[in-house]
């Protein structure tokens, strides 16, 4: 179902949040058994894409991945658990926060292994940026995350503009 701009209905944060669980195999790791950062980034991009698509119900593409912190290693055999949620939306862009945990299936211990902020942009049928639904902010925490996300999005735009001026 596609919405015209006048039909966009605001959505709550929990309407688009997502969790992805993936088992890590030897093909996704170095000889020491540590999962490649690139594999974790791929999984971050996948879960952020799900959140973006759920929110705007149209194609959404990754515009940037920033503030990725790899806090602890992930090992072969671990289950990667990625939880993602919208923090902020602007006209056509969305900031999605991803929290990455690894669970050791032998002992059940979960460890926070990484975090990231992903900016997705909604696109229409012609591949042009299109308006996304507003975000309903119900709690103080959601309002705080929105405000912090908006500040990060403004900073990213300023940095992007500065980078383009150096080309």
pLDDT (0 to 100) of residue 7 = 57
Q: Judge whether residue 85 has pLDDT over 80.
A: yes
pLDDT (0 to 100) of residue 157 = 85
User: Does residue 51 contact residue 96 with C-beta atoms inside 8 Å?
Assistant: yes
Q: Judge whether residue 86 has pLDDT over 70.
A: yes
pLDDT in tens, 97-131: 999 999 999 999 999 999 999 999 999 999 999 99
User: Does residue 118 contact residue 68 with C-beta atoms inside 8 Å?
Assistant: no
- Per-residue CA distances from 90 to 7, 133, 136 (Å): 17, 9, 13
What structural domains does the chain harbor?
7-165 (3.10.129.10)
* Terminal Cα distance for the chain, rounded: 40
Nearest CA among 10, 9, 11, 16 for reference residue 98: 16
pLDDT grade for 6, boundaries at 50, 70 and 90: very low
User: Does residue 156 contact residue 148 with C-beta atoms inside 8 Å?
Assistant: no
- pLDDT above 70 covers a percentage of the chain that reads 95
Q: What is the mean pLDDT of residues 1-16?
A: 73
- pLDDT above 90 covers a percentage of the chain that reads 87
pLDDT (0 to 100) of residue 8 = 80
User: Does residue 73 contact residue 40 with C-beta atoms inside 8 Å?
Assistant: no
Q: What is the mean pLDDT of residues 26-52?
A: 97
């Amino acid at each position: 179902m596609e919405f015209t701009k006048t039909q966009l209905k605001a959505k709550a944060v929990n309407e688009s949040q997502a969790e992805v669980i993936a088992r890590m195999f030897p093909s996704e790791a170095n000889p020491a058994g540590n999962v490649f950062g690139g594999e974790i980034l791929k999984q971050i991009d996948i879960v952020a894409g799900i959140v973006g698509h759920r929110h705007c119900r149209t194609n959404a593409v990754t515009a940037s991945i920033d503030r990725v912190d790899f806090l602890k290693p992930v090992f072969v055999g671990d289950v990667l658990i990625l939880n993602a949620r919208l923090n902020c939306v602007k006209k056509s862009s969305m900031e999605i926060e991803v929290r990455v945990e690894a669970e050791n299936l032998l002992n059940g211990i979960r460890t926070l292994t990484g975090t990231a902020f992903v900016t997705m942009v909604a696109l229409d049928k012609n591949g042009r940026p299109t308006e996304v639904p507003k975000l309903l902010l119900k709690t103080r925490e959601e309002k705080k995350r929105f405000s912090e996300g908006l500040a990060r999005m403004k900073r990213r735009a300023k940095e992007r503009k500065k980078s383009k001026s150096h080309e």
